[in-house]
Structure 1
Amino acid sequence: MDVIAEFGDILAKGTLDTLYMVFAATLIAYIFGLPLGIALVVTEDNHILPASHFNRALGTVVNVTRSVPFLILMIALIPFTRAIMGTAIGVNASIVPLVIGATPFVARLVEGSMKELNKGIIEAATSMGCSKFEIIYKVMIPESLPSLILGASLTTITLVGYSAMAGVIGGGGLGDIAIRYGYYRYESDLMVVTILLLIIIVQVIQGIGNRLSKRINRLN
């Protein structure tokens, strides 16, 4: 294809930039979102660390953050991103709104995964004398791992879409290429290729997530 010959280097760099943004943001979002999700579960009434007021406050913060459309959130965070990164455009700068947008999403996914657990397992661990911290990292996380992996693949796929939106403000990656070349320069063929690349990335991520989840589920 002529578009590959003409824009091959740009597409290759855009693909690598997208993968870097997405996986870095997913990792950081889980560093913050995993403990938040666990906190949403364990602080419920009748759980191991009941704290109803804290639970409601945390749930409200998570819901409010999730309610803001990513494009608006990204624009609103430009001053904050510039303050901590020195710039509001480019690949590294895009990671900031990606992380902030994904963290509450991750928290709710983790919460959902943890709530699928049979409460009898937690009660058994409690009766065996496990501490609350041991229940979390030796029981709840391992038992929820297949579901957590599926949630991680869903988060990563969601961030692929978010990263494409980051191209609106010069965020880099395939979204930036699609807008800068495909839209503004009317290179429709290039637009199609970037869409196909994004579809391939999503399919690969989903396939890997499904396989890992099934394998771990069999081991459990």
Structure 2
Amino acid sequence: EAWLLGQRRRLTGGVDGGIGIAGNTNGNNSASSSSSSSNFHGQRTTMSNVSNGQRSGREIMASDPYLKRIAEHLMRLSTIQRPNSSTFAKLNLLLNELTGWLVAAAARSGGQYKDPDEAAAATRMAVAALLLSAGEALAHVEHILRSCGQVQFWVPEAVTTAMALLNLFTVSLHIVRASFQLQILAKQHLQAVLFQQQQQQQQQQQQQQQ
């Protein structure tokens, strides 16, 4: 019980009621399990605010009702003393919701950058920040499940929490890069069409002059 209380305080910055990035002790009930980067909301992410997790974790997440709800459910599940199959089913549902949000956010960020490598780098930082605090919460739940002897509810077919989060991370990067590559191909095609039209117009003008 003492360990659980200490972990809860560490995850919530000393305040009961929300999950934040470990080490952030600002104390805010609006903290969340996912520290989405501000570039998902139209702003660029800097390495500093990803690493310290101050604004990217609490203030940004407080403005996103969807992720705030997921965070609250995660914290509620992480405090269950005797988890069962229903607990795991709810956790799995939350992971699926988080996956959907992450994929959609990565796709939405496609219009902010001209270069796919730059976009992938920004998205990578944002996803890393998001998964950092989400991973803290899930690791906390995993410890409870293991300590209660309910490992079978947490590791179906040997898929660990880390692998699940890594899969989310990888999928999001593939999607955002693919979206930029499609944009670049479309832009190149449009430029080629315009160039051909200009050439045809020039040829027509030359023929008329002759």
Which structure is larger by alpha-carbon Rg, 1 or 2?
A: 2
Structure 2 length normalisation: TM-score? Answer: 0.35
Larger relative helix fraction:
1
Question: Relative contact order: is structure 1 or structure 2 higher (C-alpha 8 Å, sep ≥ 6)?
Answer: 1
Normalised TM-score (structure 1): 0.34
